[in-house]
């Protein structure tokens, strides 16, 4: 037992100078004190609220900045001023803890959607920030979404630490901040670690949950396939993500985005452009140097940090001669922070209690909260408009009989008497009478009467809309969903992190493989998305078309195989299938919406466009190339020991407009020019040439004309010719044109180097083809915005005019065999 000395209660005095002593149990006292301390840390410091995703210090910083008026359109102020305001009024802790929280909310590499707009040195992944007296801050646009509605009774206020002021217990939060920006914190006996996500994806899932409350986790994961980290990178392995979305706990591996390049004619290198979440370049460099000195990492001769503000992160590792660069890269992944593990532990406060939440529970908690916020805001606005309408109606009564009102007021002894007489004579309420007594003389004009009547009608309309929202639960839900859609449209950004089911290494490295080398198809869409699928037939002949689904290239390869990308500059880029996102087997039309942008895998200079993808089989008939100046070339895509090489020597001003992989060398090669001339001839008439050759004459062009389409067509197939006409001096997509579909058999074959035959007759205002395509008839075309468009029926006249069409087609989706 222990003794506790206490002072006597007020009004009592100790007898004979003896203090009161109470015997207590030390075990009970320690348990009680520790529980109080634990709850204080959990509730008031370490864990975020599941509704707004903010910890108390973050919430108080945003509220303090809002009270100071530090909006995005106002100048920055010293961070120390913000820290002092928050510490003095709302957060009775050290200034360093407040400043650290403010800095984190301003770091774009920490938060997916920063809440603070910082000016100055707010640190990096390797260095800390400058002191608060040297930096400046204001609210970011996303922070306005968090505090919007605080003045409309949307949330409850609670006293601050000394009961002198009020502060919001939770922010209105116009978007799911907890999922978008994530959270991390260590409490007593528990911790939270939540990954950031893409704003557009999270809002899409929230809107789907509003419309379908009983949806499954798989339905939500169609919108949120995985985290979207601020620094990009790649997430390898999706099983742990699904576990985390289901149970609230899981893990995944993040991997740096790296590629092998030829730094000099005799030296290969590894270029890293993205690192795992919260991993800085100096940490990687230091680890690499330590491993090289300990001889645990071999093959690296030098490392350079070429990171700058213009180009972003760029770490270059020079590989020694005689070492396999792919094997060295795998060593870097294995031994350095270039591959890291992220453990998800979705612990957040729900009704003041810590709970571990899955994706659906997190979204449900936010959606229910946001619906309540909008309900309270609607009730507040309704009350305000009803009160204002009440005053306006009273003022209109007074203005109609203004002479009698003035006479009544002038003959009254005092204001109280005037108010009472107004209420009695004109049947006004007390609020209306007081408002009339405060009336300014300038409101007594005819124009003011018109203004008041317009304001009355507008208030009645707004009141009717607000009452409809409160009376209809479905309309309330639609209102919340519409506001979320507006937020996503205004503040959404593209996904930065690429999701991969698993990762492997080239067979030449000799390392264990994580992915079986199974056959697969690599697909390239007209919107620049790459993906691979194990479907037997990835492009059904009778499949429909939708956005991202116009396939311009399909290559049969294996999961660890390689393929080539042909560009308009006449280059072939070597690419690996193992790095591509995997699509599920397709049962119908293709959908590349889950693919990754081509820019993730190939850095093309400005003006160089991707044309198609081909296999790297040197034993086949090769590929055929056609240029804008009418040159044709046939070349075999052999295997030079470099990442890219030229496949045609182009003349000045020329570019490749089409490339096609040949199957047996007996296909027809087809040119279509801007002046509507079509030439078809056999591929066997074009002899194969080496990579350095410039090709041979394909089609003879008329003055001012150029080639708009080149491709290879099976002469035995039921192919069609699709042409679209328009004005050459009009901006693309700004003028309606004409579309014509003609059977390919209507065009006779001609000799190589000739001018071809007429394919399209121009109407008034048309002088050029803006698009042409030849091949197996597609079910639909892809419009300029990626939407599916129906094609007209095939016409019998090969040189006739086309069918009027509302918009110029931007690309054709075709079956690829």
Catalytic residue IDs? 134
Question: Which of 570, 563, 562 has the alpha carbon at shortest distance from 647?
Answer: 570
Angstrom distance (rounded) from CA 672 to CA 686:
18
At 386, which helix (H) or strand (E)?
A: helix 359-400
Please, what's the b/e burial string for 438-448 (b: 16 or more CB within 10 A of its CB; e: otherwise)? ebeeeeeeeee
Ramachandran angles phi, psi of 618, nearest 5°: -75, -15
Angstrom distance (rounded) from CA 55 to CA 47:
6
**Tokens encoding 251:** 């893990």
At 708, which helix (H) or strand (E)?
A: strand 707-713
Angstrom distance (rounded) from CA 759 to CA 798:
5
236 forms bridges with which residues in the sheet? 253, 500
Angstrom distance (rounded) from CA 509 to CA 115:
45
Question: Which of 371, 362, 364, 369 has the alpha carbon at shortest distance from 475?
Answer: 371
3-state secondary structure of 595: coil
Other C-beta atoms closer than 10 Å to the C-beta of 790 total 8
Angstrom distance (rounded) from CA 595 to CA 581:
6
Contact of 532 with 524, CB cutoff 8 Å: no
Q: In what order do the strands lie in the sheet with 788-790?
A: 788-790, 780-783, 809-812
How, if at all, do strands 267-274 and 157-159 pair? unpaired
186 forms bridges with which residues in the sheet? 191
Other C-beta atoms closer than 10 Å to the C-beta of 222 total 15
Angstrom distance (rounded) from CA 816 to CA 613:
12
Contact of 183 with 348, CB cutoff 8 Å: yes
Contact of 542 with 587, CB cutoff 8 Å: no
Angstrom distance (rounded) from CA 750 to CA 14:
121
Per-residue three-class SS string for 431-473:
HHHHHHHCCCHHHHCHHHHHHHHHHHHHHHHHHHHHHHHHHCH
């Amino acid at each position: 037992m222990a003794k506790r000395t206490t002072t006597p209660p007020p009004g009592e005095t100790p007898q004979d100078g003896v203090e009161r002593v109470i015997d207590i149990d030390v075990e009970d006292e320690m348990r009680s004190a520790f529980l109080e301390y634990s709850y204080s840390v959990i509730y008031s410091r370490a864990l975020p609220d599941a509704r707004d995703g903010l910890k108390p210090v973050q919430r108080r910083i945003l509220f303090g900045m809002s009270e100071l008026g530090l909006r995005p359109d106002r100048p920055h102020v010293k961070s120390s001023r913000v820290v002092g305001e928050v510490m003095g009024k709302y957060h009775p802790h050290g200034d360093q803890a407040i400043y650290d929280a403010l800095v984190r909310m301003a770091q774009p590499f920490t938060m997916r959607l920063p809440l603070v707009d910082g000016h100055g040195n707010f640190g990096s992944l390797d260095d800390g920030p400058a002191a608060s007296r040297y930096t400046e801050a204001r609210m970011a646009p996303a922070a306005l979404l968090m505090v919007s509605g605080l003045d409309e009774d949307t949330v409850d206020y609670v006293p601050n630490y000394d009961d002198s002021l009020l502060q919001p217990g939770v922010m209105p939060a116009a978007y799911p901040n907890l999922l978008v920006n994530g959270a991390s914190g260590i409490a007593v006996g528990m911790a939270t670690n939540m990954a950031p996500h893409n704003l557009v994806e999270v809002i899409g899932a929230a809107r789907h949950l509003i419309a379908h409350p009983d949806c499954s986790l798989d339905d939500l994961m169609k919108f949120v396939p995985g985290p979207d980290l601020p620094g990009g990178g790649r997430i390898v392995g999706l099983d742990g993500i699904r576990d985390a979305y289901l149970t609230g706990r899981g893990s995944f591996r993040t991997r740096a985005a790296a590629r092998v390049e030829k730094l000099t004619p005799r030296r290969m290198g590894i270029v890293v452009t993205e690192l795992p979440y919260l991993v800085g370049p100096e940490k990687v460099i230091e680890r690499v140097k330590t491993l090289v000195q300990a001889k645990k990492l071999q093959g690296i001769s030098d490392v350079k940090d070429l990171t700058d503000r213009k180009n972003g992160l760029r770490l270059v590792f020079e590989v020694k001669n005689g070492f396999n660069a792919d094997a060295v890269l795998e060593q870097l992944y294995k031994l350095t922070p270039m591959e890291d593990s992220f453990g998800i532990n979705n612990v957040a406060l729900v009704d003041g209690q810590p709970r571990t939440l899955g994706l659906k529970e997190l979204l449900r908690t936010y959606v229910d909260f946001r619906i309540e916020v909008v309900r309270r805001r609607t009730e507040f606005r309704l009350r305000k408009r009803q009160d204002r309408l009440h005053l306006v109606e009273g003022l209109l009564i007074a203005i109609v009989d203004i002479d009698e009102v003035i006479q009544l007021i002038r003959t009254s002894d005092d204001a109280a008497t005037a108010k009472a007489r107004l209420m009695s004579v004109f049947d006004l309420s007390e609020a209306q009478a007081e408002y009339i007594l405060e009336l300014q003389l300038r409101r007594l004009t005819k124009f003011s009467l018109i203004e008041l009547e317009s304001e009355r009608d507008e208030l009645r309309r707004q009141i009717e809309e607000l009452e409809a929202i409160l009376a209809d639960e479905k309309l309330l839900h639609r209102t919340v969903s519409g506001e979320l859609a507006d937020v996503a449209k205004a503040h959404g950004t593209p996904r930065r992190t690429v999701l991969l089911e698993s990762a492997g290494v080239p067979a030449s490295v000799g390392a264990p493989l994580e992915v079986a080398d199974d056959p697969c198809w690599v697909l390239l869409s007209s919107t620049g998305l790459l993906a691979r699928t194990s479907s037997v037939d990835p492009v059904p002949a009778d499949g429909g078309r939708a956005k991202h689904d116009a396939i311009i290239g399909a290559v049969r390869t294996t999961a660890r195989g390689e393929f080539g990308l042909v560009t308009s500059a006449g280059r072939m880029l070597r690419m690996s299938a193992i790095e591509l996102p995997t699509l599920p087997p397709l049962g119908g039309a293709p959908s590349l919406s889950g693919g990754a942008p081509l820019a993730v895998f190939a850095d093309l200079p400005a003006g160089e466009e991707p044309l198609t993808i081909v296999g790297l089989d040197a034993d086949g008939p090769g590929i055929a190339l056609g240029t804008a100046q009418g040159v044709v070339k046939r070349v075999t895509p052999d295997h030079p020991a470099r990442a890219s090489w030229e496949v045609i020597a182009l003349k000045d001003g020329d570019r490749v407009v089409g490339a096609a992989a040949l199957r047996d060398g007996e296909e027809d090669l087809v040119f279509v020019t801007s002046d509507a001339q079509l030439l078809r001839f056999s591929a066997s008439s074009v002899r194969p040439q080496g990579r350095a050759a410039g090709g041979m004459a394909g089609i003879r062009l008329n003055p001012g004309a150029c080639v708009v389409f080149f491709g290879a067509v099976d002469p035995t197939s039921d192919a069609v010719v699709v042409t679209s006409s328009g004005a050459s001096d009009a901006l693309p997509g700004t003028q309606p044109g004409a579309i014509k579909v003609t059977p390919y058999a209507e065009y006779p074959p001609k000799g190589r180097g000739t001018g071809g035959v007429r394919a399209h007759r121009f109407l008034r205002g048309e002088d050029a083809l803006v698009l042409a395509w030849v091949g197996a008839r597609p079910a639909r075309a892809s419009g300029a915005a990626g939407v599916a468009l129906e094609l007209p029926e095939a016409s019998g006249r090969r040189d006739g005019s086309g069918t009027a069409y509302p918009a110029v087609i931007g690309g054709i989706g075709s079956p690829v065999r």
